[in-house]
Structures are given as structure tokens and as C-alpha cells.
Amino acid sequence: MNLSTAAAAVWASIARTLVPAIVGQLLGLWAATGLPVDDQLEPALTVFLGLVLTGVYYAGVRVLETYVTPKLGWLLGLARTPNGYTPDPPSTAKPEPLSTLSADLARRDTEQH
């Protein structure tokens, strides 16, 4: 992965983290508005609701993005997942036969003694 690819992946992960956090906090603020609670409890309730709604929003959008259409990724700030989230393609290298490995181990063992 070159530097520009890495920088793009970092930017994508930051955007896909901040957008749900902002949306979740705004939803928490909206949800707490007008609730009949003590004035001292209201800030804590707003933060708690914001955290819960951030998680619910993120999980919901990820499910929709995965199972409905990747275009819904825009609800997280970017309609593609960062490269660091995707697994490397499987290796096409052929594994060595067990007999070769055991012969190498036996040779190394005799060389050490």
C-alpha cells in the first residue's frame, strides 16, 4: 500500500467515524429535548442518548450498506469502505508438501547437533 492509498484509507475511516458521531449526537440532543427530567440530569441523558444512537445509526447503516446497496454508505460520509477494512486476497502460492517440510526440519535438527 503506497502513501497516497494509505492516506485515502485514513481519510475514509475518519469520515466514516465522524459523520455517525455527529449524527448520533444530534439525534441524542433531539431525543432529549422536551423530556421531563431534572436540569442536572439532562446533559448526562443527552450524552448517553447520543452514544446509544450513534451506535444504532452506525450499525443500521452498515447493515443496509452490506445487505441492501453499497450506495447507502453515503449515510456514513463516504460510499466506500476504507481499504484497510477489506481482507487481503487469498494467496495463490502453492503450499509446500509435508514431506519437504519434515525433511527440512530433520536436516536443521541434525545441523544444530
Segment 11-15 shows an average pLDDT of 87
Q: Where in 17-68 does DSSP place strands (E)? A: none
What integer pLDDT is reported at residue 83 of this predicted model?
A: 61
Cell 454508505 appears where?
73
Which has the higher per-residue pLDDT, 49 or 100?
A: 49
pLDDT value of position 13 = 86
The 10s digit of each residue's pLDDT in 40-63 is: 888 888 899 999 999 999 999 999
Please report the sign of the dihedral spanned by the C-alpha atoms of residue 41, residue 42, residue 47, residue 51.
positive
Number of neighbouring beta carbons within 10 Å of residue 67: 8
